[in-house]
């Protein structure tokens, strides 16, 4: 397996998990001092050559260029770790000769599998809500912090076609016995699931402390304040994360764990193992497996 950018915050954790699961891993990138294979990942010809020697290629670089994924997927399965809505939509338009697997972490990834599981138990056309709560004590890499900051001040499209400003529309959720205020956010899982299930899916986001969630909501209303924030924020709090998918008229499922980054790496590793067996084309995780089959080691409760 070849991990592009395998020496970054995400790639390092992922490589560790894959090695623990018995896989031979090589990392590739421009930093010759840290990569097993020095490689200009923006060069399609070089990518094609490197990919031919791998069973599967994982893009952990943070670079979001459909042309590069298309170059790899001419011959080799690809797993894309990005969570960017627009980029994943662009990848969906590819017609690769090898499989390309998307939505492979926690959110997107586990949230997609949970949403499909709820829809399977309670088929219908009503709205489904995805709740995502991350720990303020978790140490995030540069890409994750930059992605969060990019949400601020931006709009996205609701399933009903209306514009929504990130982190300004609030909703209440009963999460593990506590009522929490979460805010609409442009996670790509809601767009993928709305399309796949044919029913509206909306994602809501918050942190594990009320003050941190409120601070994000304030930043969303005054985006200029972002320049005062640290590039890699880490605040007092836990590393506990929580996911929930609810149907207002039916079941809900809640998943909890500790260490968002480690859980993301674990989920991605399980997805990567599926990729070589898939047919050619672009796939999202819930199109190739189920929540039960994926069998992640996190506490999962139906209620």
Encode pLDDT of 180-208 as tens digits: 999 999 999 999 999 999 999 999 999 99
Residue 169 to residue 239: CA distance in whole angstroms: 25
Which of 78-92, 125-139, 229-243 reaches the highest mean pLDDT? Answer: 78-92
C-alpha closest to that of 38 among 21, 55, 26, 56? 26
Question: How many C-beta atoms surround the C-beta of residue 239 within 10 A?
Answer: 18
Indicate if the pLDDT at residue 138 is higher than 80: no
Q: Which residues pair with 69 in a beta bridge?
A: none
Q: Which residues pair with 131 in a beta bridge?
A: 204, 244
Residues sharing a CB contact under 8 Å with residue 281, sequence separation 6 or more, in sequence order: 95, 96, 99, 100
What pLDDT digit, counting tens, does each position of 23-51 carry? 999 999 999 999 999 999 999 999 999 99
pTM of the model as a whole: 0.95
Question: How many C-beta atoms surround the C-beta of residue 174 within 10 A?
Answer: 14
How confident is the model over 275-287, as a mean pLDDT? 99
Cα–chain-centroid distance for residue 65? 17
Instruction: Please report the domains of the chain, with CATH numbers, ordered by start residue.
Output: 2-105+263-290 (3.40.50.720), 110-259 (3.30.360.10)
Q: Any idea what DSSP says for residue 35? A: -
What pLDDT digit, counting tens, does each position of 90-128 carry? 999 999 999 999 999 999 999 999 999 999 999 999 999
C-alpha closest to that of 56 among 86, 27, 78? 78
Question: How many C-beta atoms surround the C-beta of residue 103 within 10 A?
Answer: 28
C-alpha closest to that of 2 among 80, 42, 58, 73? 58
What pLDDT, on the 0 to 100 scale, is given for residue 235?
61
SS3 278: coil
How confident is the model over 138-154, as a mean pLDDT? 72
**Half-sphere exposure of 24 toward its Cβ, with a 13 Å CA cutoff?**
3
Residue 27 to residue 39: CA distance in whole angstroms: 9
What phi-psi label fits residue 111: left (phi over 0), alpha (psi between -120 and 50 degrees) or beta? alpha
Q: What is the DSSP string of 206-234?
A: EESSHHHHHHHHHHHHSGGGGGGS-SS--
Q: What is the DSSP string of 64-113?
A: --HHHHHHHTTTS-EEE----HHHHHHHTT---SSEEEE--BTTTBHHHH
Residue 233's pLDDT band (cuts 50, 70, 90): low
Residue 41 to residue 61: CA distance in whole angstroms: 9
Cα–chain-centroid distance for residue 181? 22
How confident is the model over 163-187, as a mean pLDDT? 96
Tokens of 167: 């982190």
Question: How many C-beta atoms surround the C-beta of residue 107 within 10 A?
Answer: 25
Indicate if the pLDDT at residue 166 is higher than 70: yes
Q: What is the mean pLDDT of the chain?
A: 93
Residue 264's pLDDT band (cuts 50, 70, 90): very high
């Amino acid at each position: 397996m070849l991990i592009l950018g395998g020496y970054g915050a995400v790639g390092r954790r992922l490589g560790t998990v894959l090695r623990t699961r018995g896989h031979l891993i090589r990392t590739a990138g421009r930093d010759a001092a840290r990569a097993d294979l020095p490689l200009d990942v923006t060069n399609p010809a070089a990518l094609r050559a490197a990919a031919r020697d791998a069973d599967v290629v994982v893009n952990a670089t943070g670079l979001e260029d459909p042309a590069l994924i298309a170059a790899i997927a001419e011959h080799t399965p690809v797993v894309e770790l990005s969570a960017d809505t627009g980029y994943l939509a662009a990848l969906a338009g590819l017609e690769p000769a090898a499989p390309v697997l998307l939505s492979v972490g926690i959110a997107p990834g586990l949230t997609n599998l949970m949403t499909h599981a709820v829809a399977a138990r309670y088929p219908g056309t009503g709205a489904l809500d995805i709740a995502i709560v991350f720990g303020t004590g978790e140490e995030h890499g540069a890409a994750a912090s930059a992605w969060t900051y990019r949400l601020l001040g931006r709009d996205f499209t609701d399933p009903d076609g209306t514009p929504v400003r990130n982190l300004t529309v609030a909703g209440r959720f009963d999460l593990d016995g506590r009522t929490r205020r979460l805010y609409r956010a442009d996670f790509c899982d809601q767009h993928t699931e709305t399309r796949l299930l044919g029913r509206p899916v909306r994602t809501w986001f918050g942190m594990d402390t009320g003050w941190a969630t409120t601070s994000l909501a304030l930043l969303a209303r005054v985006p200029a304040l972002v320049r005062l924030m640290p590039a890699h924020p880490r605040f007092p709090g836990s590393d506990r994360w929580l996911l929930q998918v609810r149907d207002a008229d039916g079941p809900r499922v809640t998943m909890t764990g500790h260490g968002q980054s480690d859980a993301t790496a674990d989920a991605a590793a399980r997805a990567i193992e599926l990729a070589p067996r898939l047919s050619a084309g672009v796939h999202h995780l819930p199109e190739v497996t189920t929540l039960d089959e994926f069998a992640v080691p996190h506490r999962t409760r139906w209620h």
